Structure 1
Amino acid sequence: MIRSVAYSKAVLAGMAGAVAWEAIARVLIRAGVPFFDLVMTLGTLILPHAPAWEAWLAGMAVHLLVGAIWAVFYAYFFWSVLPLRPALQGLVFAFVPMPLAIFIMHPQFDLMHPLVQSGQMSASGLFGLGGGAHEPISIAVGHLIWGTMLGLLYTRPVGFPSNRPPLLVRQLGNSRPSSDAAPKIAEHRFMFATGIECSYPTLEGGRWRMDQMAACGHYRHWRTDLQLVRDLGLRYLRYGPPLHLIHRGPDQYDWAFLDEVAAEMQRLGIAPIMDLCHFGLPDWLQNFQNPEVPQALADYARAFARRYPWVQFYTPVNEMYVCAKLSALDGLWNEQCRDERAFVTAVRHLAKANVLMMQAIAAERPDAVFVNSESGEFYQPCCPDPAIRRIAAFENERRFLPLDLLYARPVHEDTRAYLLQHGMPSEEYAWFMQQDVRRRAILGVDYYEWNEKLIDNTGHAQALGELFGWYAVARQYYQRYGRPMMHTETNRMDARDGPRWLWRQWHNVQLIRQTGVPVVGFTWYSLTDQVDWDIALREPLGNVNPVGLFDLNRDPRTVGLAYQHLVRLFGADLDGAPSVEVVLEEAAKITNRQARRLHA
């Protein structure tokens, strides 16, 4: 397992453990308790004839260094391995260096110590038992003190307190807007893309922020990351500016970081698909239960479009269904609720925010294109039990809820009753049905190996793996909404299987295009490995998931080379595909014909 290690936190925790060990040892020794004086033994080993205070300083320096080294080892190989509280994890880990110290290092002191060799200090004998059992016991107790302190202090290696944003972002300097010039792309046709993982939900009641751009090093390496996009032969990038760091309050924006990034995108000729809200909110908006969220995000979208008028592609709100489900139904992020009413509230606010944001952006840039990325879900009943079938049928309707509201598609009668029962006013439902933001919309369908689920005989959903595949799931979404489509996210947790998964997804895209479904793009997500996505960001463990085209050192993975080859192989052929504008115009004609038939 690859780990993202907070080195400074590990070093400080290890040193703090060493200080705690020495502090307790010093108190016990002065109280007359027989306790092995490790620090003075180390100090006189280095400076045998120095004054006591100099020997103590030398010994303490070695003690701190050793404590820090073992702490880094703990952070890499042991942290979060056991399902124990942090203090107990550290306590258990102390049993790793403890026997080495007792059975190897301590006996070596007699052989190495100049004062023992000269007879000025008595030898402690094998394992320190010559002077009694207190020496090995003292070393064992000291390690337990050190380990407990290490476990208490080394926690949450990724993320940061919500009220203390990353220092790098605050130090970027004076803000300067980018020019109005758009990247020089003659015409937007088929869009091969990747993305920068940018999720930023909060945990622990909003106190801890899981910022993937920070965890994956993008704030430090953003110039390199953008260059890697171009090195792959790509021009399209799903990019989520850090909303929580930009939108400081009502009508308060800090554009410093994004101004720098946007200017570099223009220089490199990258056309971003700007992802304005990705699983989180600024602290001042709290969470998705807040009724002020839709208007606040609409104001942000309007300000964004005014500041960056050259940006044409937007994802106003990413994966509304997943965001609402994990925040308000599964209780993992943000509001961390676990009830149907909270879920419906989150869906209402996310969908309304999406509508208002699309309208606000379109008012500033009428030719804006909206890539509404949503997770392509499917639920399969495990057996013919009517109750299990009803659960699967309900979940297969519920997965569409946010998009139904966004695209003003009347929901199933039972689903509408569910909405009204759990807090949606009928007037609000009517408002959604009166909006029309579809005309410039592309429906993005994300697909991972866990998107297809089995409703088991207890009524719970279990990940099923790739049963039908993106082709079958995406086709259901196309049949429901009739929008041009894009494969907007996919990856594989097993890096060795990444190239195979890439080609399977690509062949799904080719197959659905052959049936006449207008698919305008494909995305491997993300550019680099991600952190803690194997547990859906529910804990800040620091586990690196090898899903990127590049690892976190920015070295290419096999799937990155495979994607580069795929783009070169099919890019020229797809240069003749209809442009995005033509596809949207054709979709608008179909929508108009359908509307005329409905009103005939």
Structure 2
Amino acid sequence: MAQRPGIFPTFFISGFECSTFRWKEKQRRDLTEETQHDRHVREDYNILRSLGIAVAREGIPWPMIDVGGRYDFSRIDPMIEAMAECQISPIWDLCHYGYPDDLDPFSDAFTERFASYCRAAAEYVIPRLRGPYFFTPINEITFFSFCGGEWGWAAPYGTTKEDRFRLRLSLCKAAIAGVKAIREVEPQARMVHIDPLVQVVAPRDQPDQIEAAEHETYVDTFLAWDIIYGKEHPELGGSPEILDIVGANNYSFGQMEYRAQGPHQALEPHDDRIKPLHDLLQTVWQRYQRPMIIGETSGLGGGRAAWLKDVVEESLAAVNSGMDLHGICLFPAVDMPDWHTGEWLHNGICDLVPEGDDLKRVPHEPYVAELRRWQKEFNRVIALDEDPLSDPVELQDVVDAAKRLRKVPDQNWS
């Protein structure tokens, strides 16, 4: 890892909630609008710049851009302008749970239309921003297939395990086609395929569920990445180069106790069955041997700083053991609402505080202080250089910090 520069200009990354699903009542949600990121885009990117973060996951809302196969990308022009002004490099999220109303995600037309849209998106954004260029074709294929394919939370409102498998296969097929379409425009474009890190355990009093729990942990969790890599369903055209960068999301609720029906139950904070993040990352690394990032991570409320400390120490342990880890995405940059209740989660770098019709951005100071402490530990600036995109992060600084902090820490799930 230390023998070459990092993939990204900064080790710490961030991003903005940008879901555009049709939710349970079949209404279209637009989380970019709900968080007012569309109204505060310059302020939001200036906040990242002031925090020494030069990379952000940002969404292009497919169902709002693509109307019957005709594209209008003007909606993202303010984002592009703000990125250029603040010198923030995007990881463009091309499908964040939402797709056009006239498409059936189980059809061949879905794959063809998605590939065309990916090509058009690349043709639009690449001439307008400096490279390198990063894309996430379809966000969290595995979670999307549960959310829309088995639990019925979002379109296409599937309700069975068979629906979940069919949706995942279709999304993987589309994602592979999307990667190929983007690389017709820019052969050097990098892909970041995002999915959750998951560990599922059987209830202590139900040993008969051990096999099912282990199947979800070691088979089901990895199937989408396996298909994109080409390990499974090679007829769809996956390969290691198409998988490219693995984005592994890490949240406390990713470690769960098995339930035969519906979502599993998140483990309590001090459950002795919780595995360290280092161990979860090791499973991903051994399976693919591809560059990795923590694709999303955040604590909640007053536990955000402690969560960040734990995640960074575990990530440094991963670096120290030889994993090719290139970044940690503090997600989201600004608060987001719980999809079900609408209550603010208080999981962002900034809380959102209502002021009349406006949502004021208020940095969570303990979280920011912990971020700055680690930037100093890495011997990095805590605000961006004059031209942060001119030189990627020197991973030797991260490796040196890992050597100074060899221990894998105790869990602190606040």
What TM-score bracket applies, with the shorter chain setting the length?
Answer: 0.7 to 0.9
Deviations 1:341-389 (A, max 9, x none): 2111110111011111111111111111111111111112234855312
* Residue number in structure 1 paired with 2:394: 576
Which runs of structure 2 are paired with 1:381-460 in the superposition (5 Å)? 381-383=202-204, 387-396=208-217, 397-410=219-232, 429-432=233-236, 434-436=237-239, 438=241, 441-455=244-258
Post-superposition offset of 1:306? 1.0
SS of the residue aligned with 2:323? coil
Contact 1:491 1:547 in 2 (8 A): yes
The answer on 1:514 being equivalent to 2:317 is: no
SS of the residue aligned with 2:241? coil
CA 305–376 in structure 1, closer or farther in 2 if over 3 Å, else same: same
Contact 1:315 1:373 in 2 (8 A): yes
Q: CA RMSD in A?
A: 2.5
CA 228–379 in structure 1, closer or farther in 2 if over 3 Å, else same: same
The answer on 1:219 being equivalent to 2:38 is: yes
Mapped to 2, the partners of 1:572 and 1:437 lie a distance apart of 31
* Residue number in structure 2 paired with 1:82: none
Post-superposition offset of 1:568? 3.9
Identity of aligned residues (%): 24
Mapped to 1, the partners of 2:222 and 2:111 lie a distance apart of 20
SS of the residue aligned with 1:472? helix
Q: Give, as a single letter, the amino acid of the residue that structure 2 aligns with 1:504.
A: D
The answer on 1:260 being equivalent to 2:78 is: yes
5+ residue gaps, structure 1, are 1-184, 411-428, 580-600
CA 300–282 in structure 1, closer or farther in 2 if over 3 Å, else same: same
Mapped to 1, the partners of 2:157 and 2:147 lie a distance apart of 8
Post-superposition offset of 1:528? 0.6
* Residue number in structure 1 paired with 2:22: 202
Which runs of structure 2 are paired with 1:262-281 in the superposition (5 Å)? 262-281=80-99
Q: Give, as a single letter, the amino acid of the residue that structure 1 aligns with 2:83.
A: M
CA 457–407 in structure 1, closer or farther in 2 if over 3 Å, else same: closer
Mapped to 2, the partners of 1:560 and 1:196 lie a distance apart of 17
SS of the residue aligned with 1:273? strand
Deviations 1:405-452 (A, max 9, x none): 111114xxxxxxxxxxxxxxxxxx3413x4325267110100101001
5+ residue gaps, structure 2, are 353-359, 382-391, 398-414
SS of the residue aligned with 1:487? strand
Aligned pairs, number: 366
Post-superposition offset of 1:233? 1.1
Q: TM-score, normalised by structure 1?
A: 0.58
* Residue number in structure 2 paired with 1:305: 122
Post-superposition offset of 1:567? 2.6
Contact 1:189 1:577 in 2 (8 A): no
Contact 1:200 1:280 in 2 (8 A): yes
Mapped to 1, the partners of 2:57 and 2:379 lie a distance apart of 19
* Residue number in structure 1 paired with 2:196: 375
Q: Give, as a single letter, the amino acid of the residue that structure 2 aligns with 1:199.
A: S
Q: Give, as a single letter, the amino acid of the residue that structure 2 aligns with 1:264.
A: A
Q: Give, as a single letter, the amino acid of the residue that structure 2 aligns with 1:436.
A: S
**Match 1:499 to one of 272, 297, 305:** 305
* Residue number in structure 2 paired with 1:463: 266
Q: Give, as a single letter, the amino acid of the residue that structure 2 aligns with 1:239.
A: E
CA 545–461 in structure 1, closer or farther in 2 if over 3 Å, else same: closer
Higher RCO by CA contacts (8 Å cutoff, separation 6 or greater): 2
Contact 2:191 2:242 in 1 (8 A): no
Deviations 1:380-407 (A, max 9, x none): 2234855312211221211111111111
* Residue number in structure 2 paired with 1:484: 291
Contact 1:382 1:457 in 2 (8 A): no
Deviations 1:292-327 (A, max 9, x none): 222211111101111122451111111100000111
Q: Give, as a single letter, the amino acid of the residue that structure 2 aligns with 1:302.
A: R
**Match 2:135 to one of 301, 314, 326:** 314
Contact 2:9 2:54 in 1 (8 A): no
Contact 2:225 2:243 in 1 (8 A): no
Name the one with the larger helix percent: 1
The answer on 1:340 being equivalent to 2:161 is: yes
Deviations 1:40-70 (A, max 9, x none): xxxxxxxxxxxxxxxxxxxxxxxxxxxxxxx
Higher alpha-carbon Rg: 1
Mapped to 2, the partners of 1:296 and 1:560 lie a distance apart of 41
Post-superposition offset of 1:461? 2.9
